[in-house]
Amino acid sequence: MPVVLESFEDEGINITAKQEFMREGVPMVRQVLTPQDTSLKKFPDDYTQKFVDALTTPLTDGEKKSGTHVPPTNEGILTTGTYDEISELLEGKLIGHSSIGPIAEMTDGLPVVPPTESRVAKMLKGTSHDPEEIMEFGNGFMGHGLHYATVKKVATNAVMAGCKPEYMPVVLAIAESGACVGYPGDSSFGHLYIVSGPMAKEIGMNSGFCYLAPGNPANMALQRAGTLMGINLAGTIFGINVLERTGPLHWGTIFAENEDTPWEDLNEHFGYDPDENILLSFSGKVQLLPFQNIEVKSGTSLHEVMMGTPDHAVAALKTLTNVNGALLTLTPDTARYWKEEYGFKTMADIQEYMYIHVTWKQEDWAKNYWIQILGRGKQETPFTSARNQADYQIDKRSSPTRLSKLPADADVPKFASPKAITVIVAGGTGNAWSWGGAFGRPMAYSIDKWR
């Protein structure tokens, strides 16, 4: 049966589509490209004939052809040259979407450390895994088709990013998570990683003052490794298969949990031993905002405003339009203050408090597109993964059966479970907190398996 695909006349979308057609084994799919105008009530008259032609014009020899597409293996040496010459080659000459500037092909747009054989060999000393062990990219929630990469390829990108060999287990865990691949469309999908466990301190990650700011070699190099692996190993091409209209604030941002916490560490919270090292990976719409950016509740004194109370956090989280998940980070001092003043003995206590108090009206739940049309909020285990210890079931109090029986003006939990709210202790001495939203629950990956 002849098939014709209608699609926007958009350079990036069409290149993405052609990549996808090839992966699906039908590279020559006929398309009719229509005006990029969602206000249209109908296509211009001459477009009808284009659809007729696409269904009736005999196939060309190229369209009839069957065969095997053999992509380049990209093995071994890429080139030899001066620093400027290799920088120019890695940057490439890619023009992505016509409305943006050039896009670097094998870098994040900045010069990189040359990945020489000796540097890569040195990087591989950071793991006991076979350099030729194959990792698969693209099987996760977001990906740009399946790609195969070896541990050595991961090390190559780690070198480019400026990593040290001792970072390698974390880099490999980021790789296992699928690295930073963005999203084919939409607005602000990104990635956020948190390291929990003693290794964070061993490799010098920042979990204190300015943990989200530049300056720390481990945080910055690991962030960059996630970005470079997204490009080189997972096939991310900004402006072509990543067409985010704005882009996110967090693109591979990584920091460590502060061990100075009055509660259990995140690794214990998710069922790991205290000395186990894990990577929490958030992908999708991730935001983490300083509390100063929103007047959630006026205080009567600067002290009160600066401290940030649970009520402040509730008010802030209520403003989230994304109901899939929330992030709440507290400095060690604020965590202690919350424990002492409000009686939160564990992270689970805060999760429960936020779950109960961050509410919206039943009618908001009943008409929410993502929950009602796509059914995400109705799923028993949203984005479930049997391997993921950070996964959760929908709470009975949020079950569609219960919520659908409540009146329209009833206050109902905004999130599907207390576990949709991730509590993180990080930051320097003093009182501060920040908050944000996440597309869904994090995925937990073992770092130790990559030692």
Partner 1 sequence: MEKVISSTLILSAALLISFSFPLNVDAQGGGQKMEKSSISNEPTYTILDPRSREPEVKYQGLNPRLDTLDGKKVMVVNLHGGNEEVMEALATDLQAAVPACNVEYYAVKGKWSNLEPEDWEKMLSGDAVILGHNY
Residues 119-158, interacting with partner 1 (CB under 8 A): 119-120, 137, 145-149, 152-153, 156-157
Beta-carbon contacts of 185 under 8 Å, excluding residues fewer than 6 positions away, are 13, 243, 244, 245
First to last CA, the chain: 52
Nearer to partner 1, 41 or 396 (CB): 41
Shortest distance in whole angstroms from residue 227 CB to partner 1: 12
Cβ closest to partner 1, residue 168 vs residue 234:
234
Neighbouring C-beta atoms of residue 275, cutoff 10 Å: 12
CB atoms within 10 A of CB 41: 4
Residues 6+ apart with CB under 8 A from 364: none
Contacting partner 1 within 220-249 (CB under 8 A): 228, 232-235
For position 71 contacting partner 1 by CB under 8 A, the verdict is yes
Alpha-helical regions (H) of 254-369: 266-269, 302-307, 310-318, 332-342, 347-357, 362-366
| Alpha carbon distance 451, 448 (integer Å) | 5
DSSP string, 197-251: STHHHHTT---STTTTSTT-HHHHHHHHHHHHHHHHTT---BTTTB--SS--S-E
Nearest to 223 by CA among 280, 282, 171, 285: 171
Evaluate the CA torsion angle 76, 80, 84, 89 in order and state its sign: negative
Q: Give the C-alpha separation, 282 to 185, whole Å.
A: 18
Residue with tokens 């003052």: 209
CB of 314 to partner 1, least distance (A): 31
Residue among 59 and 100 whose Cβ is closer to partner 1: 59
Stretch that binds partner 1, among 4-12, 263-271, 293-301, 378-386 (CB under 8 A): 4-12
CB of 191 to partner 1, least distance (A): 18
From 61-69, 256-264, 271-279, 292-300, give the range in contact with partner 1 by CB under 8 A: 61-69
The one segment of 206-214, 351-359, 372-380, 382-390 that binds partner 1 by CB under 8 A: 372-380
Within residues 20-49, the interface with partner 1 by CB under 8 A covers 22-23, 25-30, 32, 34, 37-43, 45, 47-49
| Closest distance of CB 269 from partner 1, Å | 31
CA distance 292 to 304: 13
**In this structure, are residues 235 and 144 in contact, taking their beta carbons and an 8 Å threshold?**
yes
Helix (H, G, I), strand (E, B) or coil at 400: helix
Q: How far is the CB of 65 from partner 1 (least distance, A)?
A: 5
Q: How far is the CB of 45 from partner 1 (least distance, A)?
A: 7
Nearer to partner 1, 56 or 301 (CB): 56
CB of 38 to partner 1, least distance (A): 4
Check the CA dihedral 170-388-266-274 and report its sign.
Answer: negative
Q: Which tokens sit at 245? A: 């209209």
- Between 302 and 321, how does the x/- string for binding to partner 1 read (CB under 8 A)? --------------------
Q: Which residues within the stretch 374-433 sit at the binding site for partner 1 (CB under 8 A)?
A: 374-375
Please give the size of the binding site for partner 1, defined by CB under 8 A.
88
Per CB under 8 A, 294 contacts partner 1: no
Q: Which of residues 164 and 397 has its CB atom nearest to partner 1 in the complex?
A: 164
Nearer to partner 1, 65 or 402 (CB): 65
CB of 181 to partner 1, least distance (A): 12
The residue (of 31 and 329) whose beta carbon lies closer to partner 1 is 31
Q: Interface residues for partner 1 in 79-118 (CB under 8 A)?
A: 79-86, 90, 106, 114-118
Q: Give the C-alpha distances (Å, rounded to integers) separating 33 from 58, 193, 315, 450.
A: 19, 39, 46, 46
Q: Is 18 in the site for partner 1 (CB under 8 A)?
A: no
- Smallest gap from residue 46 Cβ to partner 1 (A): 11
